[in-house]
Amino acid sequence: MFARAQSLTIRHVGRKRPALQDLDLEWEEGERLLLLGPSGAGKSTFALCLDGLIPHALEAHWESGTLTVGGRDTRSASLAELTQDVGVLFQDPDTQLVMLETDDEIAFGLENLGLPRNEMRKRVAEARATTGLGPATPRRLDALSGGTKQRVTLASLLAMRPRALVLDEPTANLDPLAAREVVTAFAALATRRERSFLVIEHRLDPLLRFIDRVAVLGDDGRLALAGDPESVFMGRASDLDRLGIWQPELAELARVVGAEQMPRDVDEAAALLIDRWPRGAAVQRAERAPGRITGAAHDVAHRYRGDDHDAVNGVSLELYEGEISAIVGANGAGKSTLGLLLAGVLRPSRGTVAASDDVAYVFQYPERGFLATTVRNEVRYAATIGRRIARDPDALLERFGLARLADANPHSLSHGEKRRLSVASALVTSPTVLILDEPTFGQDLRNVRELVTILREERDRGTTVVLITHDLALVAELADRAIAMAGGAIGFAGRPDELFERSDLARFGLVLPPAAGAFARARESDRAIPPLTGLGAARTALVGRETVRA
């Protein structure tokens, strides 16, 4: 047994409720364990405890229980021993990097261990090889992409030769292509089985092949259920749904077509579809007539001060009433900049923008937009500057699960809570145009469902909704129009299903979501399989049809 938590109860400073409650969990030596649970506190807290960071580097209220890692009780062992045994990769590629250049970063942990220089050089080379950081990797860290930065941090941890590796949502802040980079690196390590792994993730499908066991935490920080992937994802699906936890799309897809075995990757899922998909079940395209124009950009360009290239270049776009558009693309493609231009907040260096004066914008980093000192006042802010309130602020707080935090300072909320607060604040005036930058970042299934419902309501009321996102599954489910950007220009504008059929998605930093990928792969062998964009489309297509039952 590598690690064991017994009745572990941990409460963070400044929080009333414990993040972990009476947790009993075992992690075997050499096991690849997947930890699931509601967004935020509990799982990351556990990761911090495994490393000894709680309690040695970060204060917390250790209310009860013990945690033994590598044979040591984490409270009495030294941080040095614990960090050498367990390496933790966190989600933000930028805050984990502490040096300025790649090799320095990888060697950082080794310097702390006091290794001689030639040993350091050897291990740095080794770590680079293991994580695929070839000689072409730029030296300066700020020149690296998000996925590469995460690999550098991973290399830095591996160089220390830990017995176990914990990955806490390593792809959460990355675009799909970068996420794939990191998952590939992880897969390579996981197959070699040289150490124990604990993974905390939302994007589950690429990991299914590399997981031995799944443990699920509940809302209250307790262990809700555990088991092998097949029995958990196929057998306990309704429990997972009730807990509001993301599930692998492929497992859901299998259930939708009535299969009992869980496909472990897109190929297996495609085979399943070829086997079981009722030919002829497809989705009718509902064409929407475009309403009036609520915003437009004409050949705009924008360059930030100090940059040597345009962030947005030669973009023309119109926004319509009662339509949900999604702007997708790799990090740095200019999506957020375009959003700000459409909101009328940034002035273009070239071209013109006609922006409605009733635009609400939800920032990618919500805390930057907070203006009040309590959550309640934040939602009501629009009223204080004389704008009309269309939705009941308290009802919105309730819907987003923020009611009990009404008197708290907005900055003291968790990431997910902050994001929901900023969306609520934007919705309160039911604006003409609503632009949301990464609204589903790090959110629970429950909250995303709520958001989808609300956005559909808004669209039906005639609001123009613009989503700037990496989440293609969300685009498939919700968007009427998809706009893909690359290098500051629009490379595609049309229906989401048309986007999914393209072969140059990598150019936009995009990867088909697993379910859509399964359909696409199945189509390669059998054209009769429809090009469905995701689970939502699949369910709709099967409505009224009998699914083949084994």
Partner 1 sequence: MNRSFSVARAVALVGALVALVAFFLPWVTYTQRGFSGADLASTLSPALAAVKAGGIKGLDLGLWAVALAAVLAAIFILASWVRAADPREGRYRLWAAAAAITGLAFAVLFLASGLLGGTPDINFAPAAIRTDNAVKATVAKAIGAGDFVGIGIGVYLAIAGFAVAAIGAILARPATDERTWRTQDYVLLAVLAVVFGAIYWAWLGPYLGIETILAGVSAQLGQELLFGLWYVSGLLGGYIIRRPGAAFLSETLAAFAEVLLGAPAGPVLIVTGFMQALGPELTFAATGYRRWGWGTMAVAGAAAGIVALPWNWLRLGYFALDPGVMLGLFITRVIAGTVAGLAAKAIGDLVAATGSLNYFALGRERVREV
Partner 2 sequence: MSALMRRDPTVKLAVVLAVSLLLILIVDPVTPALFLALAIAVALAGGARPRTIARALVPLTVLGVGFVWSNAVFAATQGPGTWTIGPFHASESGLRFGLAIAIRGIAIGILSLTFVWSTDPTDLVVSLIRHVRLPFRLGYPVLAAYRFLPFFTDEYAQVRLARRVRGARPRGPLDRLREAVGELVTLLSDATRRATQIAIAMDARGFASATERTYYREARLAWGDALFIIGAAVTTTALLLLSEWMGALRTVLG
Give contact residues for partner 1 (rule: CB under 8 A): 13-16, 57-59, 373, 405, 408-413
Sort strands 350-355 and 293-302 into parallel, antiparallel or unpaired.
antiparallel
> Contact letters (x/-) for partner 2, 406-435, by CB under 8 A?
-----x-------------x----------
Length of the chain: 550
Is 16 or 309 the residue whose CB approaches partner 1 more closely? 16
Q: Which is nearer to partner 2, 24 or 119 (CB)?
A: 119
In a 13 Å sphere around the CA of 223, the CA atoms on its Cβ side amount to 18
The listed partner (partner 1, partner 2, none) that binds 13, CB under 5 to 8 Å by sort, is partner 1
Name the segment binding partner 2 (CB under 8 A); options: 100-108, 325-333, 515-523, 528-536: 100-108
Is residue 465 within a helix (H) or strand (E), and if so which, with residue range?
Answer: strand 464-468
How open is the CA angle 133-137-139, to the nearest 5 degrees? 120
| Closer by beta carbon to partner 1, 300 or else 405 | 405
Least distance to partner 1, CB of residue 30, Å: 32
Nearest residue to 471 via CA among 145, 245, 176: 176
361 near partner 2, rule: CB under 8 A: yes
How many Cα atoms occupy the beta-carbon half-sphere of 165 within 13 Å?
23
Question: Which residue is listed with tokens 């369910």?
Answer: 539
Site string for partner 2, 136-175 (x = CB under 8 A): -----xx-------------xx--x---------------
- CB of residue 114 vs partner 2: minimum separation in angstroms? 4
Answer for which of 57, 389, 528, 548 binds partner 2 (CB under 8 A) is 57
Distance of closest approach, residue 111 Cβ to partner 2, in angstroms? 6
The span of 93-101, 265-273, 325-333, 488-496 binding partner 2 (CB under 8 A) equals 93-101
Stretch that binds partner 2, among 92-100, 208-216, 323-331, 477-485 (CB under 8 A): 92-100
- Alpha helices, H only, 277-380: 335-342, 375-379
| Contact partner at residue 239 from partner 1, partner 2, none, CB < 5 to 8 Å by partner kind | none
Residue 541 Cα distances to 101, 159, 548, angstroms = 51, 50, 14
Q: Give every CB contact of residue 242 below 8 A, 6+ residues apart in sequence.
A: none
* Closest to 219 (Cα-Cα) out of 239, 238, 234, 236: 239
* Strand order from edge to edge, sheet including 32-36: 86-89, 164-168, 196-200, 32-36, 213-217, 223-227
The footprint of partner 2 (CB under 8 A) covers 48, 51, 53, 56-58, 78-80, 83-84, 87-88, 90, 92, 94-101, 103-104, 107-117, 120, 124, 141-142, 156-157, 160, 340, 343, 345-346, 359, 361, 363, 365, 367-371, 381-382, 385, 387, 411, 425
